[in-house]
Structure 1
Amino acid sequence: MEKGGNVIIVKRKNVIAGGHHGGAWKVAYADFVTAMMAFFLLMWLLSTTDEKTKLGLADYFSPTIPISDSRSGGDAPFEGDSVLSQDTLKRDETGQKGDPAKDSLAGSKADGSDASLYDVEQALLGGSGDAMQADPMLEHIRTRVTDEGLIVEVFDTPGSPLFAADGAVPNPIFGRLVGMIGRVLSRTENPVAITGNLAKGDTGRGGPDPWRLSSDRAQLARASLVAAGVDDARLARVTGKADRSPATEDPHDSRNRRIEITLLRHFPE
């Protein structure tokens, strides 16, 4: 275009719709891929997990053993009432919802099912796999569910014996451990059996009779359980086995110096 001998050049810029709008879609896509990976990893883990662990996972999201929002002691399971600080379960032994005012850990009509015994086991162990690290006292305890019921073993550890050597004089740790177990078992109604055991060579010549010593220690455990709230009428038997029932291959192992407290599956006829 010419005007007065001058040339005017007009440039027009073409704008194409749908151009570059940033990288927000990449962030959304990455989140989606991450979520899908987590989902499939969860599915794989569930497919390789045993039934007991699945029950534990289910209880984590819908707990069958309520835990109080407040603590009366320290953070560890044995420092206060933080373990099982309420009296009831959300479900009865059949898995059905019950009246919280009437339910208990293994209620009066409990059939000793594995589910109910695992509930008690989780209460004893603080409901967490990390509980042992949180409270070293748990190193004194092992639990297992058998045909007879839930067996709770309380035993010596190196440098931390339950009793004075060759005697039935308990160390303070014994009272704390059995007292904690008693507070949990007091919320059940199943019968309880107690057995005292010794390690090989615990009593030598001139020492106390091993049968009497193991029985005396079992009687001390009975007294501690009753003091913690377990009704004496629930005690089905209190026995001593001396060193005749070792828990390890080495009969001299301090692990064999133990008290077994069994929450029985069935009520005696």
Structure 2
Amino acid sequence: MKTNQPIIIKKVNKGGHKHHGGSWKVAFADFAIAMMAFFMVMWLANSATPQQKHYIAGHFKDPGGALIGPGGADSALIPLEAPKGEKEKESKDLPSAPQGDVLQQAAELEKQRLQILANRLNKMVEENSAFQDIKEQIHVDIVPEGVRVQIFDEENRPMFLGGQAQVQPFARLILQKFATVIAKVPNKVSVTGHTDGIPYAGRPNYTNWELSTDRANAARRQLVAGGLPVDQIAKVEGLADSLLLDQRDPNNPINRRINIIVLKKSASDAIEQSALATELQDIADEVNKELPDN
């Protein structure tokens, strides 16, 4: 008996499998690295001493801790102090540090340096032919503030034109020659102008104070022209006739002079402190002027 059931034909494709991609390789690589790290940690943990294990554990408990103590280096591993015997030996080998002698030694070295400077300046005056006719107007000596160079007027050879601050050629030569030597030391320099006792009557509101200050500043310019660094000059001032060399004869030309002092450090420090105090006082005065009266 025949049936009318349909005939089903099943076809099997025996071709190659589809490509599944390479993501599994990445996962396997991560797994391999993790296993390698795990076995490395196990090996290190097995080879570490109990003391090292203790400090490793302390690091994970307090990773931000101090360098000494849990999470940091052990004082037994990094000695902070030498054993007593070694410490005593080192203290015997090393010379004891000077306590109060450092400043004294520095002052002594500075004194020697300034003495050498004074000797060089005197030697230049005595041996340089350019000073042959004018050396009587120059005096170099040591004073408490440092090395002082005094340049005096003579009756027939003044350093400046009468009543003016224009430097004469011979004085310009002296100042510039001295500048080349003074510039070789680091000490600060002060420049002071002095006049005689004759009142200045050249123009209104201009006295020996202004004249002596202008002459000191003119001398400063010649020192700078001779090679003295600008920042090596600590002070420029005029004292008029307040410090006469010849008290018995205020009109003596020797009273008209320029003083240059190569300052000791203590003297230059005192000048800086005085200038700072004056500046602060000026600021305080300005503030007081702006404040309203109660």
TM tier, shorter chain? 0.5 to 0.7
In the other structure, the counterpart of 2:198 is 201
Structure 2 gaps of 5+ residues are 1-105, 273-294
Is residue 154 of structure 2 the alignment partner of residue 154 of structure 1? no
Could you list the structure 1 runs, at least 4 aligned residues long, displaced by more than 4 angstroms after superposition.
109-112, 127-134
DSSP-derived class of the 1:151 partner: strand
Root mean square deviation, CA, Å: 2.5
Higher helix share: 2
Is residue 229 of structure 2 the alignment partner of residue 216 of structure 1? no
In the other structure, the counterpart of 1:59 is none
Superposed, 1:1-269 pairs within 5 Å as 113-126=110-123, 135-201=132-198, 203-204=200-201, 206=203, 208-249=206-247, 250-266=249-265, 267-268=268-269
> Normalising by structure 1, what TM-score?
0.54
Q: Percent identity?
A: 28
Classify 1:144/1:118 alpha carbon distance in 2 versus 1 (closer, same or farther; 3 Å).
same
Residue identity opposite 1:149 in structure 2: G
Residue identity opposite 2:227 in structure 1: G
Classify 1:259/1:134 alpha carbon distance in 2 versus 1 (closer, same or farther; 3 Å).
closer
> Over alpha carbons, which structure has the higher Rg?
2
Give, in angstroms, the shift of residue 206 of structure 1: 4.2
Give, in angstroms, the shift of residue 247 of structure 1: 1.5
Give, in angstroms, the shift of residue 145 of structure 1: 0.7
Classify 1:111/1:228 alpha carbon distance in 2 versus 1 (closer, same or farther; 3 Å).
farther
Classify 1:265/1:137 alpha carbon distance in 2 versus 1 (closer, same or farther; 3 Å).
same
Contact conserved, 1:112 with 1:149, CA < 8 A, in 2?
no
> Normalising by structure 2, what TM-score?
0.50
Structure 1 gaps of 5+ residues are 1-108
Contact conserved, 1:192 with 1:264, CA < 8 A, in 2?
yes
Give, in angstroms, the shift of residue 131 of structure 1: 6.8
Give, in angstroms, the shift of residue 244 of structure 1: 0.8
For this pair of structures, how many residues does the alignment match? 161
Distance 2:221 2:125 in 1: 29
Contact conserved, 1:143 with 1:150, CA < 8 A, in 2?
yes
DSSP-derived class of the 1:162 partner: coil
Residue identity opposite 1:224 in structure 2: Q
Residue identity opposite 1:122 in structure 2: N
